[in-house]
A and B are shown apart, each in its own frame.
Chain A
């Protein structure tokens, strides 16, 4: 008899739990209509930045290509001429291609770049129908002449660029800006190492 009553109580508890859940707020975000704001250091689609005077930052040194663990970057440099100065240095990138299907979005290209030319933006909606359309060349990577100079990761505002659609606040238990104030990833790494040693 005891076990029967216990069983009935257990059943009732189970039913109460499921019914309670039915009235709870759902955590689902109806994605294409609403987007969650994510961390400013989110690694998304690449961007080639410019200087204030409109010149390309990329000097065609191919360091990003060498650093890339996925062999996703192809750079072919060319000499600047006095008539046509594309970048302040001696050379510029005549061709700059990233295969976004190979890319693992690790951000090593960003770290390798001596002029902070290649950066990863928080854009992530790259879906397309053809493989060939995932090879991004300069026409899509380089910030257009009239669209400013592109933002460095450390000066980027929190979250998704406004042209991506409506954004809701992310309820995160960790402060996503904490540690980012140090701006340089090297600094962060240093503090982390110190923490480990101490």
Chain B
């Protein structure tokens, strides 16, 4: 059986089966990446705090994610008396499904057969923003439905934080869209074949990084969880697997954001310095991994912002800066053609 035979056979398979198989493969890979990015974070954080990090389960602690998962599975699933049971139980799934949904349109690499991803949507970036925005409902509803004061405070904070940072985030991305002239993620990567957009859009990139950290509720913008003030923020009342789902969602969002940053600003699977001998997928993973490392680095270095400063920074600095960046980009593109 030759390659041509296999391709012929693939053509006879119904499209929905192909998409389902692709989706399952991507989900399995993404879940594995989640598990090990968590271990990666714990290790890097430990090293930066002069600790060895988890090293007891398996060689160098490599089986730690499995141990954590087993622990989560066997913990009791509690529902507070004051909680709204249906929404309380539904909220983690909203977060998780939205976090997973974003991966449906992310292209990871490209070969002559086509894009490596579940679907190559021509408005991919918009789909991602739409899906991840719905994910905020998971957090807000979880906080509201818990029927307890700390989660409610977390939920209120999350709503305000999301609204203020989503604006600047979208603004910072539009600069790239203007330069590329397309909203298709693979199209944007193709447009970066010569110059990555991090060079003409350096301010856009900086604003995107800051807002992305805030969007994913990570330190130093983790006021939504804020262990030191709000116990656990929106997930205070959650335990066991439902807490685990929020946890997965948070990390998947981090990975999504890293993927978007790679696709929009770091040239996606384009090899730097003409090093095309290394496959595009490796470059993609390296670039996204660098971004996740940056997340961890941020968390170990910076203390949490005060709430009013977070708001001031978002509305009085990031939004105007992003708007200015967008206007300048638009003007230059208009003048130069």
Q: Contact residues of A with B, CB < 8 Å?
A: 11, 14-15, 17-19, 21-24, 26-28, 30
Contact = CB atoms under 8 A, between A and B. Distances in A.
Interface string B48-80: 111110010000000000000000000000000
A26 B297 contact: no
Interface string B124-164: 00000000000000000000000000000000000000000
In this complex, which of B49, B50, B55 has the most chain A Cβ atoms within 10 angstroms of its Cβ? Answer: B50
The 3 closest A-B pairs by CB, nearest first: A22-B47, A18-B301, A18-B48
B55 A22 contact: no
Contact of B55 (A18, A19, A21, A30): A30
A21 B49 contact: yes
A21 B302 contact: no
Contacts of B300: 18
B52 A15 contact: no
Given A18-B300, A18-B301, A26 B47 contact: yes
Q: Which label, helix, strand, loop or mixed, suits the secondary structure of the A interface?
A: helix
Interface residues of B, number: 12
Given A14-B302, A22-B44, A27 B50 contact: yes
B50 A26 contact: yes
A26 B48 contact: no
Interface of B: 44, 47-52, 55, 297, 300-302
A27 B46 CA distance: 12
Given A22-B44, A30-B55, A15 B297 contact: yes
A115 B137 CA distance: 77
B110 to A, nearest CB: 33
Given A28-B52, A30-B52, A15 B47 contact: no
B221 to A, nearest CB: 15
B312 to A, nearest CB: 14
A4 to B, nearest CB: 10
Q: Which of B44, B297, B301, B302 lies at the interface centre, i.e. has the most chain A CB atoms within 10 A of its CB?
A: B301
8 contacts: A11-B302, A14-B301, A18-B48, A18-B300, A21-B47, A21-B49, A24-B50, A28-B50
Contacts of A24: 50
A34 to B, nearest CB: 12
A40 B49 CA distance: 32
Given A18-B301, A19-B48, 18 more contacts: A11-B302, A14-B302, A15-B297, A17-B301, A18-B48, A18-B297, A18-B300, A19-B297, A21-B49, A22-B44, A22-B47, A22-B48, A26-B47, A26-B50, A26-B51, A26-B52, A27-B50, A30-B52
B106 to A, nearest CB: 28
B306 to A, nearest CB: 15
B318 to A, nearest CB: 14
A14 B297 CA distance: 10
Contacts of B47: 21-23, 26
Contacts of B301: 14-15, 17-18
Contacts of B297: 15, 18-19
A28 B51 contact: yes
Contacts of B302: 11, 14
A11 B303 CA distance: 11
A17 B301 CA distance: 8
Contacts of A26: 47, 50-52
Contacts of B52: 26, 28, 30
Nearest to B299: A18
